[in-house]
Structure 1
Amino acid sequence: MRFPQSSSPTSRRNLLLGTAAAGALFAAGCTSNENNDSDENSKQAANTANDKPGKAVTIGFAGPQADHGWLNAINQQAKRRAKEYKDVTLEITEGSNDTAQQIGQIETLINKKVDVLVILPADGKALTQVGLKAMRAGIPVVNLDRVFASPQAYRCWIGGDNYGMGLNAGHYIGEQLKGKKNAKVIELAGIDNLELTRQRTAGFNDALKNYPNIKKVGRQAAEFTVESGQSKMAQLLQAHSDFDALWNHDDDQGVGAERAIKQAGRDDFLMVGGAGAKHAMDAIKADNTVLKATVLYPPTMAASAIDLARALGQGKGVGGLAELEIPASLTLYSAVVTKDNVDEYLPTGFS
């Protein structure tokens, strides 16, 4: 995924929630804080699951151009979730990777006086001012994944855990190889000048520190594209004739990596992908390639962002939590999908 901005995995503002836990909370629904009982415990008890239609809410959704499978899944998740609510109207922009154009689209939504904005900025830093503009106009903003430069530009942030992706990929590989002496691993990373790539590599390296029998012997940075995945993987294969595991940061570039692996006739190692594409999950389920797992960066965060926006528009909290307000931040968990649990996650796989 091409993310110019990413949240810090160590931010104290982030409330860590597993994907399943977050899904359970939002599927349970958000409930009104209105309660005539003055007893505080009764007020909190009222904040339980309820999906009944409430106040009509118009949600403006602005994201970047869907030029990647994950980004397209973000748009689709938001649209599908909004349709599930009879009280939600979704105003969605065409999406753009041009910051000036996206700012214009968001300003149009502000002028339409939508009740809440959900924004996945093409560049979080560059779009901070328009986030601030919306908040100052009284329109709460749900900042999706690529974080704005100021917390004043949004009411709630929700996104993935890049450090956690690397950490969980490293632990999975470590457990698979813990009985092997002098094991070797390589890494096919994303775009190196992106903070998210550095976070994923840092998490991976930190996990491997727990396995003294494993050494990372190679790393190449690709560009989150099929073509770059194929060319960079070919270079890795040529440079390393013997290794035991590969972690690839992104399932889209993994398509190219798998082509290079097949062309080289290699099947002597295991591969772990990243993000959770459907083709990767299908391969994991078939269990007939080197790809044995993928670490999620769940696009379901867009559906949860719609849930949060609806709750904000209706003055509600989150079902399943005692607090009367929605959290300031939600970091989704990077689950590892293997053949043992792939059926559970297949519905979230994106094309």
Structure 2
Amino acid sequence: MAQDVDTTRRGLLFGAAAIGTGALLTACTSNEPSGKSGGKAQQAAVTDEKPGKRVTIGFAGPQADHGWLNAITVNAKERAKKYADVTLEATEGSNDTAAQIGQVETLINKKVDVLVILPADGKALTQVGLKAMRSGIPVVNLDRVFNTPQAYRCWIGGDNYGMGLSAGHYIGEKLKGKKNAKVVELAGLDTLELTQQRTKGFDDALKNYPNIKKVARQAAEFTVESGQSKMSQLLQAQRNFDALWNHDDDQGVGALRAVKQAGRDGFLMVGGAGALSAFQEIKKGDGVLKATVLYPPTMAASAIDLARALGQGKGIGGMAEFEIPSSITLYSAVVDKDNVDRYMPTGFQ
């Protein structure tokens, strides 16, 4: 009997849920006679905050050696505490792929109900994601994506291309009345695809503003030290420019140090991610940092919500479907002085 249950769970995870759709629709219809709904959406069972079926969620992420990564873990743990029916089994974060694979395998052996995984390396952890799914444990893949959709039931993450796009349009609108405007870019690690996507989004946005030219670009390493060093080089090479797009608020702390040490102003700076320090600087309004583009670590809290919904076999509020989506890409909103108070509670340290 246990084997039959496991087989059924695997079938549902890999797309056989359609077999039971008729039964679900019949169970959730209104008072209309069976078969006469006309294809109209019925009220699906959705998760809410009321205690329901108990769910054990395994959580595995990288080492929290960066403000954003630490915020991911904090958001996941705090969200889990919100639900009386959720038990969170969190591993100690690791950037070693072999160690993280071992941690996920331990969670699989514990037979958790759902897994939330932010892989240190999506490609390297794809096989263990597949192993979980084939064991009947649905996986919520957080941000860094596995190589195949078969390794997860749902992916949720940020929009790196959208970050660059939002930054480019914000700067473009601020400078659209200025002739021969110049912008510079302080990127992240160029070996990472996410850095390349952020740059592409930025460049594509600037194509809409023929008066603006990107005159320089430096790649840093997402650290305060690298941000300060590379920004100093940019400032030395470019005596005049009108705007700076910085990919990461952590390295932005160093970039702002370099700007102050050089005594430079006369340009606007747009950051990336949504650090509390950036929000506070924007709110003060007396420096070059005027906005930051979100890459919200609150995605980890949402991942817990999705995992709970999966564990309870429910959909999510605001959607007519009985199942949660297979992919959710978060929007890269711009935070400036006009809306910074709203986002301040989400800022990470």
Per-residue displacement from partner, 1:116-173 (whole Å, max 9, x unpaired)? 0000000000000000000000000000000000110000000000000000000000
3-state SS of 2:216 partner: strand
Partners of 1:331 and 1:115 lie apart in 2 by 24
Q: 1:63 aligns with which of 57, 61, 64?
A: 61
The partner residue of 1:158 within 145, 156, 168 is 156
Pairing 1:243-258 to 2, within 5 Å after superposition: 243-258=241-256
Does the Cα contact within 8 Å between 1:47 and 1:322 map onto a contact in 2? no
How far did residue 51 of structure 1 move? 2.2
TM-score, scaled relative to structure 2: 0.89
Q: How does 1:202-351 map to 2 (within 5 A)?
A: 202-351=200-349
Measured in 1, the distance between the counterparts of 2:85 and 2:218 equals 48
Work out the CA distance in 1 between the residues paired with 2:114 and 2:42.
24
Partner of 1:104: 102
Structure 1-normalised TM-score?
Answer: 0.89
- In structure 2, list runs of 5 or more residues that go unmatched: 1-23, 31-36
Summarize the Cα distance change of 1:37–1:45 in structure 2 as closer, same or farther, 3 Å threshold.
closer
Detail structure 1 runs of 4+ shifted over 4 Å in the superposition.
37-43
Which whole-Å CA distance do the structure 2 matches of 1:108 and 1:255 have between them? 38
The residue identity in structure 2 corresponding to 1:247 is W
Structural mapping, 1:82-121, within 5 Å: 82-121=80-119
Q: Verify the 8 A CA contact 1:47 1:320 in the aligned structure 2.
A: no
Deviation at 1:332, TM superposition (A): 0.1
Q: Quick one: which amino acid aligns to residue 209 of structure 1? A: K
Q: For residue 248 of structure 1, what is the amino acid of its counterpart?
A: N
Work out whether residues 46 and 314 of structure 2, in 8 Å CA contact, stay in contact via their aligned partners in 1. no
Is the 1:64–1:95 contact (alpha carbons within 8 Å) kept by the matching residues of 2?
yes
* Deviation, structure 1 residue 330: 0.1
1:148 counterpart SS class = coil
Quick one: structure 1 residues 254 and 37, their matched pair in 2 at CA, closer, same or farther if it must change by over 3 Å?
Answer: closer
What secondary structure, in the 3-state scheme, does the structure 2 residue paired with 1:53 have? coil
CA distance in 2, matches of 1:168, 1:233: 22
Cα distance in 1 for partners of 2:29, 2:341 equals 46
Q: Take 2:243 and 2:258, find their aligned partners in 1: how far apart are those partners?
A: 15
- Cα offset for 1:268? 1.1
Q: In the TM superposition, what is the alpha-carbon distance from 1:296 to its structure 2 partner?
A: 0.3
Q: Which residue of structure 1 aligns with residue 76 of structure 2?
A: 78
CA contact 1:220–1:236 (8 Å) conserved in 2? yes
User: Helix, strand or coil for the counterpart of 2:213?
Assistant: strand
Amino acid at match of 2:344: L
- Deviation string 1:279-302 (CA, Å, 9 cap, x unpaired) is 000000010110000000000000
1:52-91 C-alpha deviation (Å, 9 max, x unpaired): 1110000000000000000000000000100000100000
> Quick one: which of 145, 148, 151 aligns to 2:146?
148
- Give the CA deviation at 1:42: 8.7
Q: Distance in 2 between matches of 1:128 and 1:303?
A: 22
Pick aligned residue for 1:175 from 173, 176, 182: 173
Q: How many residues align?
A: 319
Q: Given that residues 271 and 292 in structure 1 are in contact (C-alpha distance below 8 angstroms), is that contact kept between their aligned partners in structure 2? A: yes
What is the DSSP-based 3-state SS (H/G/I as helix, E as strand, rest coil) of the residue aligned with 1:50?
coil
User: Percent identity, aligned pairs only?
Assistant: 80
Question: 1:44 aligns to what SS in structure 2?
Answer: coil
Q: In the aligned structure 2, how far is the partner of 1:295 from the partner of 1:228? A: 20
**Secondary structure, aligned partner of 1:206:** helix
Segments of structure 1 that go 5 or more residues without pairing to the other structure are: 1-32
Letter in 2 for 1:63: G
Alpha-carbon distance between aligned partners in 2 of 1:250 and 1:48, rounded to the nearest angstrom: 36
Q: Which amino acid aligns with 2:321?
A: E
Cα distance between partner residues in 1 of 2:265 and 2:45: 53
Root-mean-square deviation over aligned CA pairs: 1.4
**How many angstroms apart in 2 are the aligned matches of 1:37 and 1:192?**
50
3-state SS of 2:328 partner? strand
Corresponding position of 1:201: 199
One-letter amino acid matched to 1:318: I
Q: Secondary structure at the match of 1:231?
A: helix
Q: CA separation in 1, counterparts of 2:257 and 2:29?
A: 64
* Residue of structure 1 in register with 2:8 after alignment: none
> What does residue 6 of structure 2 align with?
none
Distance change (3 Å), C-alpha of 1:285 and 1:71: same
Q: Secondary structure at the match of 2:184?
A: strand
Counterpart of 2:341, as a letter, is: D
Is the Cα contact below 8 Å between 1:35 and 1:46 reproduced in 2? no
Gap change, CA 1:218 and 1:91, over 3 Å in 2 = same
Cα distance in 2 for partners of 1:215, 1:255 equals 25
3-state SS in 2 of match to 1:310: helix
Structure 1 counterpart of 2:95, which letter?
N
